[in-house]
Structure formats: C-alpha cells, structure tokens
Structure 1
Amino acid sequence: MPPSRRRRTRTGCLTCRARRIKCDEAAAICTQCSRSDLQCLRSRNESLSETTRSRLAFTAKNNDRRLTQAGTKRQRVQRSCVSCKLIKKRCNGERPLCDRCLKKDQPCIYDEETSPDSSRNSIAGDRQIVPSLSRSPFLSPTATVDLPGRIIAQDLCKTFFDEIAPLRCLGFLHRHIFLQHVQNCEDSQEPLLLSVCALATKSIKHRELWEIGCRWARIAQGLVLAEIQDISVHRLMCIVLLYEHATRTSDHRLCFMLSGLASRYTQALSLNLEYDHDMLSTTSLLSPVERESRRRLMWACYIVDTMVACGLNHLQAIDTTTIQIQLPCDDKYFLYKVARITAKVPVCFESTAKFDAPISTENQDTHAFLIRLFLIRDRILRYVHDHTDKEDPWRLMSALADLEHWKESLPPELQFNYDVIVIRKEQSMLSALVSLHVQYHQINCLLFRCTIPSMLFPARAHTGLSRNASMEFLSDSRRGWFDHACAMSAIFKVALEQKPESMEDPAVGFSTYNAIIIKFLYLTNFVPSEERLARLESILPLVDIDLQFLRELHEYHPSVRSTYLAAECLVDEAKLRISQDPTITLSESGNLVGVFNFPTDCISLDHRTNQLSTIAQMRKNLPEMHAPDLASVPLSCGPQSPGEPERLWLWIDGGAERGQSDPASEISDQGPKDMYG
C-alpha cells in the first residue's frame, strides 16, 4: 500500500493568507484563526483581491494595538499606561482602561508621545522628561488633585522601608502599621504620607518621579509650616523626612532651617527623656512600638543636629548630656512589637576606657552602633573647636579607646565580611552596613587629624597635643590617618561589586572625598620627596577606586554631583602637580603653617567647617551675608617663609586660580532640574 501523502491546501482562509501562514481549511473556522482568536474570512476565489488584502492589513495593524501587523494577538504591549509604568507593573494596554487600573478603580492615562522603551530610561541613560506625567490628572501641577494614588503610595512606601529606613535611624515608622494605614487612608493630602512618598522618589532612577516627588515635598512642607505651632510627633517625623529629602536635592538652606525646627520640636515634646520608667511597657500608656518609635525619632533628630553643627557649640541645639533615653533596639524586636532594654545613654557619653568591659551590645543592631559612632564624633569635633589649644591635650585619647571598644564589641552579624555582605544584601541592609563601616574609618581619620595642626579648621601652627606629644606618637597617628583612608577604599571596592544595593546612602560621598584628599595630603606632607613618585604608583589605584565609587554614587544620587566634580578636579590637579614637581607640598585649605595662629573664637564659620559641610554650602551666595571677620582672611595671604615649598589649594579654591567656576557650589542653589543636566 503506497504511503499516504499530506493534503496540500488549495486556497486557505483569507486571514491566514494575509498573515502568510499555512491554513488547514478546517470547517467553519480554521485552527490558526481559532488559536489566535481572529475572524476566519473565507472566499470562493483562489486569489485575494488588492482591496481585500489592504482591508485585512489595515484591520490587523489598527485593532487597538492588540494585534501585530501580521494579525496575531500581541504578546508584548507597545505602550503601558502611566500608572503601571510608575510602579513597574505589567500592563495589558487595553483602552480606555487597562485591566489593572480598572480593577483598582484609578485613572488610566496613556502617553502617546513616549516611545515604548521610555519606561526603562534612567537618570544615567536617557534624561528626557516624559510629558505624560505632567498631563496626568493626579500628577499635574495645575490639577485640583496633585497627590499619589493609593497603589502608587503603597509601592513608594515599600521602597522607603527597603532603601531609606535602614539609614541614620530613619526607620522610626513601623512598616506594617504604616502600610496598613496607607491602605485604609482616605486623605491623600496627609503630610507624613506625602513626605514618605516624596523621599522614596529620590531612590528611583526616573526623572519624572524626581520632579513629582519634589512637588509632593513642597505640599507636605506647606502643610507643616502652615500650622507650625501644632507640635506633634507626626509633624516632627515629617520635618525629619523633609530634611532628608532636602539633602538629596542639595537644598542646603532648607536643611539648615529644618534641622533647627526639628531640634525645637524635640525639646517641646521632651523626647530626650523616656516617657516613664516602665521600659518594657507592661502598664505604660505607650505601646512598645510607640515608645521605640519615639526613641528612634529622637536619635534621628540628634544625628541631623550634630551633622549640621559640625561640633560648634553655638550651632548645636540639642545638648547631648540631656538625652536620657536608651539606644534603639534591634529591628526584629521593633517589627514584632516586642519591648527590649538596650544600653542607656549616660554610659555612652563617658569614656569606655574607665570600664573593665565594653558597653553592652545586647538587643542592638546597626542603628545603635551608628549612634555610638556619632556620639564619639561629637566629642572629637568639640575637642577640635574648644580644647585643641589647652594644656590638657590627652583627653582626646579617650575617644581613641572608645573607637577600639566599639570595634571589639561589634557582633558577628555586623562584621564586614563576605557572608555578612551576602545576607545583608538579601535583607536590603547592605547600604546601611557599608555606611556604618565607612563612618567608623571616617571618624578615625577625624581623630588622627587632630595631631596635624595644619590640617585643622582653621589651620594653625601648633596645638596643645602637638607641643606635648612625642614624635613617635605623632608619626604613628599620621600613619593611622592614612591607613584608615585606605581602609575606606577597600570598602568602596566591595561596594562597587555589590551595586546597586550598596549605593543607597548619598551621605557616603562626603567620606569618599575625604578618603581621596587624605591620600594626597599624606603623600605630599609626610612622605620624603625622593620616595613620592614610587608611593604615588601604589596610591593611584586606591584613588581610582574612590573616584569610581563616587562616580557610581553620583549616577544614583544627583545630590553627590558637587562632591564628585570637586573630587575629579582635585585628582587631576594633584596628579599633574606631583608629576611635575615631586617636592611640592599640597594643602587642603591653602593656609601657610606657622604664619598666623588666630584664636578660633574670632574666625568666621567659613573657615571653621569643611567646605562641603551643610553650613558652608548654606552660606554660599546668600543675598545678605555679612562680610567675614578680618581674622578669617585666608592665612596664605601672609609672607611665605624662605625655603617654604609651594602650597596649593586642593579645595575648590584651586579652580579659582585657573579662572574656573566653583564646582562645589555649582548646584547648591539649583533645583533638581539642573542637577540632571
């Protein structure tokens, strides 16, 4: 029996012929049309007329964009609606309402001018503004309602808890309680909700979200300041979150004012004291969550205050000796609403060198250890401003003992090793771990810097410590200053391998800049000139790591742009000058050591703080700023001693010598729009 042959189709349905696929000519409807849910058109003619072909092609191409040009059902949507793009959810592209917006009963707006790939554009890539968001009824600045929808708010709140709450004690909101509140909230104009959503937009790399978040922050700020006399814990939370938002938009003047307002709120609410003596909340009116939330809020305000004040007594509004609350507990206890007792604050203000055992670390995590570092930093800065010229220089060594005790008491889950890094990355806590260890090395650099009078702010010829300490001690301190700067480079190298989870804290950029400048200052001030070129070859790879980390951090956080530009300018100039003259001595402030030695109490703030600090940035280009004191004139204006090597300004002033603009102040007064330029 001869083998059966496959039946060859004679005509096929019109739809399959238009799609140029094989048709099985099944009765009523062919298999291909049934599978693709298309109309199966039949004809007695064996050939298709040109009119029929055109009609089928036009129908397939313009069938609400749900079919491909060949007529098949589209598997990938050409354009998603604005709401789905904002929260990065799958959209089926149905018009006028997609399935998701229909189910959530929210507006569904499509952007007809945006390309299909526009939702994937980031700050680092395409920086074009998406026009549709400004036309959206719930996002338009001229619309009646300019507030986040409930679904968008929930997703932004989750972003806040994953990426921002672990940093600098900002996790004073209970995750599940707050998300439940957002789900049931009917008022989208709630200042705390707007503050959280606005801050969350600064962690998502989309230009349109950045601008929308800035509008939300302005609304929340207006609501808070309109009733500024209404002092409450929730309003204080708004102020702290708005401060963090202002730091990420480089609005330093707003940062300065909000920090003072936050300090006054804490004093009015007496958050520096425990609510009562019932620490475990067994009979207290406050629940464990409320008590812990207030503690974290107080510590967040303290960190804000001490970062702005930079150790200057007349700028710091919160007296550390008046804080009588315990350190924050571990996040897991806060999450499960369990009260726990941690170390009390008065112990932390005393030197741990007086105790036989380190401070108890029971029930503590990253927040508590970071606060302990800021307490040590506060003492060191106060010493620099108030006690460097006194006859009791060795009190600074208690801070060195505290740092050693801090390092020894660090639990295994907070060590910086591979296993902990992997686990913290999965828990969205890697950036907090990186910030913690970078802060430790930064404070060590600050401590050892006190042994170098010419590197202080302001620079001076001698201090009580430099007069009384041995040369061996001073040499070891300067070496420790350099070693901790190199240790930061090792952390940055690991962070580059673990991005983007390690890039969530823009405040690390300031420490990165310090790590760069310390390497060049140590090389040109404390390494013999005949060894400098050889040492430069070993230092440059570390500087390249620092600069690369700062560049990557700038891609995620535009507020780091000024620091990155200053660092890039610094590295290029330093490498050029050192290669031209290995005997050159570089200076950070341009001061000539030994020419003048003004008392610190008659020097302007411009020369008592770091050039990249909040107070220094805030004072740039103030319209009615008073002239600096005569004593604050740069010390390098004096006569140069014979044989004194040439000194350069490694700071932003180096650009002024070449007739360039100041990169550090280039965006200090610009809005977020210019930060992406």
Structure 2
Amino acid sequence: MGFLHVPTFMERLKGPTQLETQQSGLIYIMCALSAPFYYADTIGFVGEEDQKKEIQFFDAGKGWAEAASQCLFSGFGQTGTERLMTEVLLHEYYLRQGDYAKGFMISGQIARHLQILQINIEANSDPSCQKISVSGVTKESRRRLVWACYILDAFIECGIDQLRLILAEDIHVQLPCSEELFVRSTPCITETLTPGQYLPSVTPTPKTITEASNNLDMRGFYIRALNTRSKILKYVKCLAGEVPWQRNPTSRFHILEDELHTLETSIPPALQISTENMYLFKASGRLSLYFSLHILISQNYHDLYRIGVSRLVFPNSATQWIRENAPSAFLVTCHTICAQKAVYIASLLKDLWVCHRLSIVDTPFAMYIQVCSSVIVTTLASWGRDEPLIPGMGYGEYRAMLRDNVIMLRFLQRYIKASMYYESAVQALNRFDELFSLDCTGPGSANTPALVDARAGGSADRTGGSSQIQLTLEYVLNPLGTYPMARKQIENGDGEGEVGNCPGEDVPVAEEIAVLDDSIRPSGEDDLGSFTFPSEMLFAGNVFDWEPEMPMMPGIGYPTFLGHFSVDAPRGL
C-alpha cells in the first residue's frame, strides 16, 4: 500500500503515542496480514507430511483481525487517517480470507471515511488543515492513502458506474513520490493522474517539470495503468455502434489504444524490466509492485484487443458483430496481441517466482495468473489458422506456461483463498490438452484438432445470441466478482464468508499433485501428474458454487472453464 512512513511509525510505536495506534487497530491488522507468513516460516511446509495435511496458512491471524475489527467498530463514528489505514488493510485481509461480503461492505465505509476526512485534496488546500502545521511526511502519507483507496475501489468497480464510489476526477492530489524521498522525509512535486499536469499551486517551469517527472514513484505509473484499465473495461461493456478497425478522431478503441501505448512508453529505464532492476527491487522489498505494474499494463492490452477474439468477452454475443464484420487483418492483430501479451505475462510470472516466490502472495496475482491461462487457451482455440499464432512458439511451450501457472496458484492458495483461481487454471490446462496434442510442434501440425469457424456452420453461441441489454449488475458483471460474491453470501445466509469448498481439497485425485520444488522444473519435466477431474463432479448441477470464489474478477469477463462458463465448443476466427 505504501502509505506508512516506517521511520515515523517505528518511533511512535516505541513512544508515548503507542496507545493511539492500538486504539485504531492498525497494529492488530498488520499482525493479521503478517501471521500467515510467520506461521509458514515457523512450521515449515516443505515436508511430505505437511503437504498431505494441506495446511492453509491464511487461517492464521484471525484473532488479530478480530481485534482490529473491534477497535474500528467499538469506536464507530470516530475518524482519522490511522483508522482509515486500518479499514483499507482490513479490506485486504477479508479478500485474502474469502470474506467477500465483509470486504464489499467495508469498501463502502472506506469511501465515506475518505470523503469525511477530505484527504482527496491537498492538505494546504483543506481549510481544516490550514490552522495547523502539516509536515511533508504527513502530506505524502495522506496522498498515498487516498490513492490506496482509489486502487481498492477500482478493482471493485471494473468499469461499472453503479459500483464506482471513488472517482479519479475527484482526487485532487499529486501522485506518490519516489520511495527514497518519502522515507527521507523530503518534500517534492510530482505530476497528477494526467501526465504532464500539476497541482494548481505549482508554477510549471523547465526545472519543476523535469523534477516532477523524475520524482514520480512506480506506484504512480501503476495508478495510471489501473485508471486506463477501468476505461478499457467500461469500453468493452458498451460496444454498441463501435467500429474499432476504423481509425478516426472519435474512435474510442484507438483513443484507448493510444493512451495505453503512451503509458507503456512513459515507463523510465529505472522501472523497466531487466535483471538488474529485478534484484534491486527485490532488495528494497518492492518486487511485487514492480512486476504488478508490467503485468497490469500487458493485461490492459488483451483487455482491449480481446474484442476480436471469440469467447474472450462475456457474453460472446457482445462481440459477434465485430468478429463477423471486421477485416481479417484486424482479427489477426487482436489474436496476435492477446497471445503475445499473455505469453509475456507468463514469462514475468515465472521470473518473479524464480526470483522470490513469496512476492507472488498478493491478491491481484491470483487474477493475473488465472487470466493469463484463460487468454492463452481461448486465443489458441479461436485462432483456427494453419500458420502459428506466435512464430516459433510450439504447443509444448504453451503447455509449459499453463502448467507453471498451476504450480504458482497451487502455492498461492495456501496463503490466500485462491482455490477457484487454481481450479480454473487446472481446467484451462485440461482444456488445452483436449484441444491440442502434445506431440504437435506448431499450430500447423497435421495432428492439430480442426477448429471450426462459427461463421461457417460451427457451433452456436451458448449465450443464445441475445443482445438485449440487461439492467441487473449480476448480468453486467457476470458472477465472478466481489459484488456478486457478497450477494451470494447474503442469499445463502453465510455470514462467515465461506462460499463452498475447493473440490481439490476433498477429492483424492488432487493429492496426486507433486510437492513444489525450490523452482519450477524445466518444461520437459511434468511434475503435475493428471489434472483430470470427473466431469460428473465438476458440472453436476449446483454441487459447487464456482463463481463466488473469485474476488478480483467482477467485470473483466474472461472464461473460467468452470461450470457453465467452460468453453467446450470448437470455434475459429
């Protein structure tokens, strides 16, 4: 989150103001989020016995979280930045625990708390702060806190206006400064959310413009990427009248395409992907954010270009007109970019895993990995051409990436509740094995299953082809998200936030998966065993509620290969 100034916090923790920190619950929620890591480190988990027991580390820390919750609600109505910090971290804890109803509810409290504190405007512009002296550290901490609240809300709303509580245009503070300047308590100027723009109090000069750009933290680029993502997801949900292959000044597709390209090229060399930067950020403990930035930008690309790929937008009928009328070159571009970016994301995930696997333990990474697998399999299935989708890439390499994704989610689900992400990745791998023979060396191999073009008599759209606009959020979002999961929990009367169990925890076949090694094995060694789950178990009515288990996927609409969202029909361009 980055909003805590560690030197000041540690000084206060040992001083007379320690009691205030405890009253806000901030200490307790920090302990709750740390407990799974401490627990795993204390008991160890590489032994065969522990693997069989399938210990869930995310169960640790519940007592600390309950203490933090009691601090917040026993003082309900009290305000303050430390209390808001506690709420933000408690929301993160709920997501990691799978308590989605609680997470969704407290997100509303966070938005209202933000409004009453007015930290969405600079401290020197807030009349309530002009009577007292506000230090540079406090100002920067406030900025980072409001942006953390924005990030939280953006992951919930995903382009849906009805769920948006914190608007980017209502945040009138500059983006976070570099970590070194913050830690050293050095006041500075940075840009606002819009590149090249500054606060009204800043007089742009060549010197200030250069300094503001250089002072921008990696978190600032991440916030911009998330803002672009919200625009893209909103665009994908409203494609009526859109002709994306025609470039003109009013084309929403090309406006977003240009914005995304500008964002990607604005990343300075010190933040770009390289071995040197990777280990520098590992040393500073910021490896997760470093990889998240580049993965999110890449994911934005296939968020946008998937409109030309069959089954990558839910419902499939939403993009049917585009796929039936777009020039072949445009559809090829969409498939190529989606595949290239998904493969790039898979390579980044593996680099992060090899460099420092614990840095992958963060809620968005469950989404990144699952979507990566989904895009690879669905795009390959939609390709339907003789030439390779990516020159030089064989099916064995694609499968190795899908298998590595399963391994990473297998590890991740012990620290956060990611069982359904894991199961979705497993089923994506199963689907890949159904479609493509492992002895194929490329998409043009004679052993490649025939993929039928839906326009040439292929299978019908399972959505029924209806383009009728539905007004319920459940339809707009599809059932994979924080809001739908909260709804499901309320309907089931499940106040504890447990929405079904992962079949992999109860089915003996899941135990066949091998113990994780210190690093991912070479692509030639398959250490996963068989991933085949009995179809009658997976798809028998309402035995398992798959959808409510996937918190970070409210509106992105990628296939999950679970239940009625499984993709089982042949298709082509």
Partner in structure 2 of residue 576 of structure 1: 434
Distance change (3 Å), C-alpha of 1:569 and 1:358: farther
Q: Is 1:389 the counterpart of 2:271 in the alignment?
A: no
Structure 2: gaps spanning 5 or more residues: 41-54, 199-208, 245-250, 438-446, 494-531, 552-573
In the TM superposition, 1:641-652 aligns within 5 A as: none
Structure 1: gaps spanning 5 or more residues: 1-169, 351-356, 626-649, 670-677
On the 8 A contact 1:321/1:349 being kept in 2, the answer is: no
On the 8 A contact 2:301/2:341 being kept in 1, the answer is: yes
Distance change (3 Å), C-alpha of 1:435 and 1:584: same
On the 8 A contact 2:399/2:429 being kept in 1, the answer is: no
Partner in structure 2 of residue 508 of structure 1: 365
Distance between the aligned counterparts of 1:202 and 1:497, measured in 2? 21
3-state DSSP of counterpart to 2:347: helix
Partner in structure 1 of residue 219 of structure 2: 367
In the TM superposition, 1:101-112 aligns within 5 A as: none
On the 8 A contact 2:308/2:319 being kept in 1, the answer is: no
Partner in structure 2 of residue 376 of structure 1: 228
Distance change (3 Å), C-alpha of 1:667 and 1:402: closer
Task: Say what the alpha-carbon RMSD is for the aligned residues.
Answer: 3.7
Which 10-residue stretch deviates more, 265-274 or 371-380? 265-274
Distance between the aligned counterparts of 2:453 and 2:538, measured in 1? 16
3-state DSSP of counterpart to 2:360: coil
3-state DSSP of counterpart to 2:163: coil
Letter in 2 for 1:390: G
Partner in structure 2 of residue 437 of structure 1: 294
Distance between the aligned counterparts of 1:519 and 1:275, measured in 2? 46
Partner in structure 2 of residue 329 of structure 1: 177
Find 1:525's aligned residue among 352, 366, 382.
382
Q: How many residues align?
A: 462
3-state DSSP of counterpart to 1:492: helix
Using structure 1 for the length normalisation, give the TM-score.
0.61
Letter in 2 for 1:564: Y
Find 1:592's aligned residue among 444, 447, 461.
461
Instruction: Render the CA deviation track for 1:157-208: whole Å, top value 9, x for unaligned.
Output: xxxxxxxxxxxxx111110111122222257554122122222224334379
Distance change (3 Å), C-alpha of 1:171 and 1:594: closer
3-state DSSP of counterpart to 1:558: coil
Instruction: Render the CA deviation track for 1:221-251: whole Å, top value 9, x for unaligned.
Output: 1221233322322211111010011111111
Instruction: Render the CA deviation track for 1:4-46: whole Å, top value 9, x for unaligned.
Output: xxxxxxxxxxxxxxxxxxxxxxxxxxxxxxxxxxxxxxxxxxx
Letter in 2 for 1:598: S
Find 2:32's aligned residue among 198, 222, 228.
198
3-state DSSP of counterpart to 2:14: helix
Find 1:615's aligned residue among 466, 470, 483.
483
Distance between the aligned counterparts of 2:196 and 2:418, measured in 1? 32
Distance between the aligned counterparts of 2:546 and 2:78, measured in 1? 37
Distance change (3 Å), C-alpha of 1:585 and 1:298: farther
On the 8 A contact 1:190/1:220 being kept in 2, the answer is: yes
3-state DSSP of counterpart to 1:598: coil
Q: Is 1:552 the counterpart of 2:411 in the alignment?
A: yes
Q: Is 1:536 the counterpart of 2:395 in the alignment?
A: yes
Give the Å deviation of 1:528.
2.9
Distance change (3 Å), C-alpha of 1:539 and 1:348: farther
On the 8 A contact 1:460/1:597 being kept in 2, the answer is: yes
Distance between the aligned counterparts of 1:365 and 1:668, measured in 2? 30
Distance between the aligned counterparts of 1:591 and 1:316, measured in 2? 35
Give the Å deviation of 1:518.
1.0
On the 8 A contact 2:373/2:402 being kept in 1, the answer is: yes
Distance between the aligned counterparts of 1:254 and 1:586, measured in 2? 44
Give the Å deviation of 1:304.
0.7
Larger Rg: 1
Letter in 2 for 1:477: C
Q: Is 1:311 the counterpart of 2:159 in the alignment?
A: yes
In the TM superposition, 1:142-221 aligns within 5 A as: 170-184=1-15, 185-186=18-19, 188=22, 190-206=24-40, 213-221=61-69
Distance between the aligned counterparts of 1:380 and 1:666, measured in 2? 24
Q: Choose between structure 1 and 2: higher helix proportion.
A: 2
Q: Percent identity?
A: 25
3-state DSSP of counterpart to 2:477: coil
Q: Is 1:236 the counterpart of 2:94 in the alignment?
A: no
On the 8 A contact 2:91/2:107 being kept in 1, the answer is: yes
Distance change (3 Å), C-alpha of 1:186 and 1:391: closer
3-state DSSP of counterpart to 2:73: helix
Using structure 2 for the length normalisation, give the TM-score.
0.72
Instruction: Render the CA deviation track for 1:305-347: whole Å, top value 9, x for unaligned.
Output: 1111121101111122222211111111111111111112345
Partner in structure 1 of residue 330 of structure 2: 473
Letter in 1 for 2:87: I
3-state DSSP of counterpart to 2:357: coil
Instruction: Render the CA deviation track for 1:273-307: whole Å, top value 9, x for unaligned.
Output: 222259xx999731111111111111111111111
Letter in 2 for 1:583: A
Partner in structure 1 of residue 473 of structure 2: 605
Distance change (3 Å), C-alpha of 1:585 and 1:613: farther
